[in-house]
Amino acid sequence: MIVGNQVYKTILVGADGTPEAGRALHVAILLARSLKARAVVLGVIPPASPESQAEGYGLEIDDAKRSRMEQALRQEIQALGNAEGEVTLEICGGRPDETILRKAAQYDADLIVVGRRDVSRIRHWLEGSTSESLVRKCVVSLLVVPDTHA
């Protein structure tokens, strides 16, 4: 949405602690800074899949995951320097695509930024793709930052 001379007022970036999400966070913060927009950094802790539980992952206490993710994202935000605009950090759990869309509506975001990574066909089939789901469901502008190592 163009408001006055401002193209985007609120940019929401989905983050999960992966390097791909880190690149998306970097792009979103720099874009928000250049546009003097508000940046909302949304750390999403997905529910553990049966596959990851079988491998022994996802069995940690939610509070520990939440705390670790919040600390890691705060460090990433600080490493990018002082943002000229406002930066909000929120950590929540849920399906990433649904959570991002819900929070984008809550924050009245007019741009969503997410990372994209290549995964095996089996993992893609089992877990799906957040970025692909958002492309299909998103009602605001969406920027997908690709995995540069693919």
Q: Give the residue extent of every domain in the chain.
A: 10-119+139-145
pLDDT, tens only, 13-64: 999 888 888 899 999 999 999 999 999 999 998 887 666 666 666 555 578 8
Question: 50: which 2 tokens?
Answer: 């049966």
Helical (H) or strand (E) element with 147: none
Assign 3-state DSSP to the chain and report helix, strand, coil percentages, each to 5: 45, 20, 35
Q: Name the CATH code of domain 10-119+139-145 (choices 2.40.110.10, 3.40.50.620, 3.40.50.720, 3.30.390.50).
A: 3.40.50.620
Q: At what angle do helices 19-35 and 62-79 cross, to 10 degrees?
A: 50
Q: What pLDDT is recorded for position 17?
A: 82
Mean pLDDT of 144-150: 75
The predicted structure's pLDDT at residue 37: 92
Dist CA 38 CA 150 (whole Å): 30
The answer to whether the predicted template modeling score (pTM) of the entire model surpasses 0.85 is no
Query: pLDDT tens digits, residue range 75-113?
Result: 988 888 755 568 999 999 998 999 999 999 999 999 999
Q: What secondary structure does DSSP assign to 87-124, as a single string?
A: EEEEEEES-HHHHHHHHHHHTT-SEEEEE-----HHHH
Q: Say whether pLDDT at 131 is over 50.
A: yes
Q: What is the pLDDT of residue 7?
A: 84
Q: Is the pLDDT assigned to residue 148 strictly greater than 80? A: no
